[in-house]
Amino acid sequence: MSPELNAPGISEEDKARLTQSGIELSMQNRCGSYLQMNQDVLHAECQEEGIEVLSYRKAMEKYDWLKEYEWKAVPKDKDEITQYVASQTDPKGYVIIAHKGTKNILPIQACLYLGRETIQHVHNIIIAEEGAELHIISGCTSGGHVGQGAAHYGVSEFYIKKNAKISFTMIHTWTENIEVFPRSASIVEENGVFLSNYVCMQPVKKIQMYPTATLKGENSVARFSSIIIASPSSYLDIGSRAILEGKGASAELVTRAITKGGTIISRGQIIGKTAGTKGHLECKGLILKDGTIYAIPEIDGRVVGTELSHEAAVGKLAQEEIEYLMSRGLSEDEATATIIRGFLDVKIAGLPEALQKQIDATIDVAEKAGF
């Protein structure tokens, strides 16, 4: 087992924020870890045989063939964010490779910590080779003291080979001054499975992200699950997209969104390009205090034989449900918290128990803080 991670310069308060983001500095329940503070890579290691966690620079030095994957899922000229990351002469980020047939039971953790007013940039490549299974929890957070002008630009490329699986759970615990711009895409081959889970329940200034999964292989699968809460000062433009190209490919996109006064734009798109494909898109939103939720579902069927569906709903807490729980002995606050928790309780099929527990723990923290 790896020794405890050394995180110099991080206060006890911010270590607690790392814990909220799913990062265990003790490494007790992790098989590997990547830790980056601002632009300094402090740790990159994995104890699981056949699985590598490397810094981006070391990975490119070690494997020439990685250039075949670099900027293939996410084009470097996609937008100004990717152009900025691609222009860096000293690229940061991580490369995780699960070699053929390998599997990690305990997840790998990737921690990206922003501790000063700067642009943190990362370029990540994650590969599950044929028959491999890879489970990752990514905890992204900032110091509570970080002020205006801080931002995170993150590019992540996922490659899921034949009969392989990646589950990727990303938990954001930023502060109200941070702007965040993830850019990610995945390519899924025959019988491959990609599970993407996103949780953001703490204040943040702005997040803009729209990850895309291209299901190229026959019977490939993608599932996106998002749990988001917008504080009064937050602007969250968040969505996901699935492109169904392989025969028998299927996708499910599920979002639970709550506004406490901020703005949420919940986007979703499924494109059916091949007969025999299926996709479902679902967005449900709650307005707790005056704020805005835009739900923008798109289904784009291009051939006979693709089956696509969507549902979207935005509303408020039902008073009769609150009153019913109060009649059972709960206070109004307890009844409200119980309903909200149930609303956010999204179980992800196929997600390892350790990662589901981390999502549940994050909801616990938000509940204790009064959501």
**Which residue type is seen at 302?**
R
CB 135, CB 104: distance < 8 Å: yes
Which two structure tokens, joined as six digits, stand for 68?
């075949």
Q: Quick one: which of 171, 247, 253, 179 has its CA closest to 212?
A: 253
Answer whether 0.75 is exceeded by the pTM: yes
Nearest to 271 by CA among 213, 189, 190: 213
Would you give per-residue pLDDT tens digits along the chain (371 residues)? 445 677 777 788 888 888 878 888 888 889 999 999 999 999 999 999 999 999 999 999 999 999 999 999 999 999 999 999 999 999 999 999 999 999 998 999 999 999 999 999 999 999 999 999 999 999 999 988 898 889 999 999 999 999 999 999 999 999 999 999 999 999 999 999 999 999 998 999 999 999 999 999 999 999 999 999 999 999 999 999 999 999 999 999 999 999 999 999 999 999 999 999 999 999 999 999 899 999 999 999 999 999 999 999 999 888 999 898 889 898 988 888 888 888 887 776 666 676 677 777 777 766 666 67
Domain ranges for the chain: 1-178, 210-316, 318-371
Count CB atoms within 10 A of the CB of residue 316: 9
Query: Given this model, what pLDDT does residue 1 score?
Result: 45
All residues at 6 or more sequence positions from 321 whose CB lies less than 8 Å from its CB, including other chains: 335, 339
Pair 279, 251: CB distance under 8 Å: yes
